[in-house]
Amino acid sequence: MSSNSEAKGRIVKALSGYYYVLPQEAESSGQTVQCRARGVFKKRGLTPLVGDDVVYTLTENGEGTVEELLPRFSELIRPPVANVDLAILVFSVTEPSLNLQLLDKFLVHIEHAGIEPVLCLSKQDLEQDGGETEEAAVAIEAVNRIYTAIGYEVYGTSSRQGVGVEALHDRLKGHVAVFAGQSGVGKSSLLNALVPGLDLETNAISNRLGRGKHTTRHVELVEIGGGYVADTPGFSQLDFTELGIEDLGYCFREMRELAPDCKFRACTHVHEPGCAVLKAVEEGTIAPSRHQNYLTFMTEMKERKRRY
């Protein structure tokens, strides 16, 4: 390509002011072009993100300039990645124990970002290590019962035994995926099993360093045979700052479907007469844990509003 002629590509890495763009025509070779972004982005308050599709030009020295950001269909703030269309929520069935409230919190954020969530229950090998079978079995049963009923896909994996890794790998094809989940659930081990040679630090090291250890790591998209995975531990700290109270019900799939049947248009599904959601909870078609977590999040959001 001669200098100054425009080409399209995708930013796969951002590091100290440089953007590494994978040209569309060179996707198979994996050769990236090191680019700077034009100053005009800063003036407009735009920041190029890993995952952005861009138009760039080559400069004399074989480097390039990002000229234009193409429209994004999704954007995450933590980790800062654009155009992610799949979020793999990794939760372990034991050590740490499965926390449905946290799982629902992650789902709310991912639904709000407009990204398709897939649930992955990790560490299924630990259940054989003695004593924990019951806790793990109860956790697996609860997730399968509650979440498959509302249309979520659930995968079971064991990074140590390689169980379920291939099925998950197939699911990632054709997508840009991010992994998320609380610390210690085996996200790094799972990513290492999916992408041989990735060598993400696993938490054996990072537990000693305490929290906040990943804040300085850059985000990178790693090609995994027909798809991309953001090489980052994803987000483990969540708050509701970017979410309005009126958005909350929309982020619970089964409530979103029933809301049009509520008597009042702005029904909060808390105490209103003629509420289709409350009726479904009563009849057992909405899991009590889901509605309870919805109420908890709503209280949390109201308290946050009061504080600020």
- Residue 210: what pLDDT? 39
**pLDDT score, position 136:** 81
Residue 42: the pLDDT is 80
pLDDT beneath 50, residues of the chain: 203-216
- State residue 192's pLDDT score: 80
Residues that constitute the known binding site: 122-125, 181-189, 262, 267, 269, 275
- The predicted pLDDT at position 235 comes to 60
pLDDT at 124: 67
Binding residues for GTP: 122-125, 181-189
Question: Structural domains in the chain?
Answer: 6-71 (2.40.50.140), 81-230 (3.40.50.300), 245-307 (1.10.40.50)
Pairing of strands 33-37, 53-58: unpaired
Reported pTM: 0.83
Whether 77 contacts 242, CB under 8 Å = yes
CA–CA gap between residue 123 and residue 94 (Å, rounded): 7
So what's the pLDDT on residue 33? 93
Annotated binding site for Zn(2+): 262, 267, 269, 275
